[in-house]
Amino acid sequence: VGIDLEDVRLAVMRQYAAGILPSTASLAADLATDATTTDPTTVDAAAVDVALAELHEQRHVVLRDGEIVMAHPFASIPLGFSVMGRSTLWWGGCAWDSFAIPHLLPDEPDVLVATRCPGCDAPLAWVVGREAPPAGDEVAHFLVPTAHIWDDVVHTCGNQRLFCGSACVDRWLAATGNDRGDVFDLATLWRLARGWYAGRLDRGYVRREPVAAREYFASVGLSGPFWGL
């Protein structure tokens, strides 16, 4: 046994969870000491990069120019959101990813999610926890339909945003020349985020493919062809 792919995936997720932006070097160091299945004598930068390329193919991580930029719900690049926990600050990925973080991390029962409305630049923030959706009249707008989420997933996540209300969505659509995607309320976003990434920090995780998740989307209150429904 050389490098075990699941060891690498878990090392990525655990580093992100701890607020570390994973790199080839940080993962190689981690795998040489903390891996379960991996033979530590087989760990070097080249072997880690081969494993990361395979995880990218399997959509567990997103690489750009050989560097990890995302492993949902975490990101190494700004996509519009920050997420502040008790002792850790994350780039929150998209609206969906940011709302998912307290559901995924046992030690973070609630977090402060902050962004700017793309329509009017107003600062927006919510305390997002596990028990109930945050209060507020703001709305989520997702630009890219589920069938195309993985065409360019960084673009997709970068356009899953929160707005003051539908007037700000309309203003942003007019300013950017984009067609309307789907608009829904904070409670629906919270339900969408709640179970989506369940198990991602555990060994043996099987990821959900958005195009195969119609039942889940319907169960959280989403509908229409945007979601494959």
Q: For residue 59, give the nearest of 155, 191, 151 by alpha carbon.
A: 151
Instruction: Identify the residue among 8, 61, 143, 168 touching Zn ion (CB under 5 A).
Output: 168
Closer by beta carbon to Zn ion, 28 or else 191 = 191
- 2-10, 32-40, 165-173, 200-208 -> range binding Zn ion (CB under 5 A): 165-173
Q: Does the protein bind Zn ion through residue 189 (CB under 5 A)? A: no
157 in contact with Zn ion (CB under 5 A)? yes
Q: Tell me the C-alpha distance between 44 and 175, whole Å.
A: 48
With contacts defined by CB under 5 A, how many residues of the chain interact with Zn ion? 10
Residue choice 164, 169, 189, 192 for contact with Zn ion (CB under 5 A): 164
- Nearer Cβ to Zn ion (157/186): 157
Q: Residue 47 corresponds to which tokens in the numbers above?
A: 């072997």
Cα distances (Å, whole numbers) of residue 73 to 81, 93, 105, 167:
12, 6, 11, 28
- Asked if residue 94 binds Zn ion (CB under 5 A), the reply is yes
CB-hemisphere CA count at 13 Å for 220?
21
SS3 category, 191: helix
Q: How far is the CB of 172 from Zn ion (least distance, A)?
A: 8
> Residues 151, 164: contact at Cβ < 8 Å?
no
Residue 67 CB, nearest approach to Zn ion (Å): 18
- When binding is defined by CB under 5 A, the residue of 117, 128, 169, 193 that contacts Zn ion is 117
Closest separation in Å from C-beta 178 to Zn ion:
16
Identify which range of 47-55, 107-115, 151-159, 202-210 contacts Zn ion by CB under 5 A: 151-159
d(CA 24, CA 152): 23
Distance separating alpha carbons of residues 22 and 37, to the nearest angstrom? 20
Token pair listed for 148? 């195309």
Interface residue with Zn ion among 4, 6, 30, 97 (CB under 5 A) is 97
* DSSP helix/strand/coil, 199: coil
Q: Most distant CA pair in the chain: distance in Å? A: 58
- Only segment of 89-97, 144-152, 183-191, 212-220 that touches Zn ion (CB under 5 A): 89-97
Which residues of the shown chain bind Zn ion in the complex (CB under 5 A)?
A: 93-94, 97, 117, 119-120, 122, 157, 164, 168
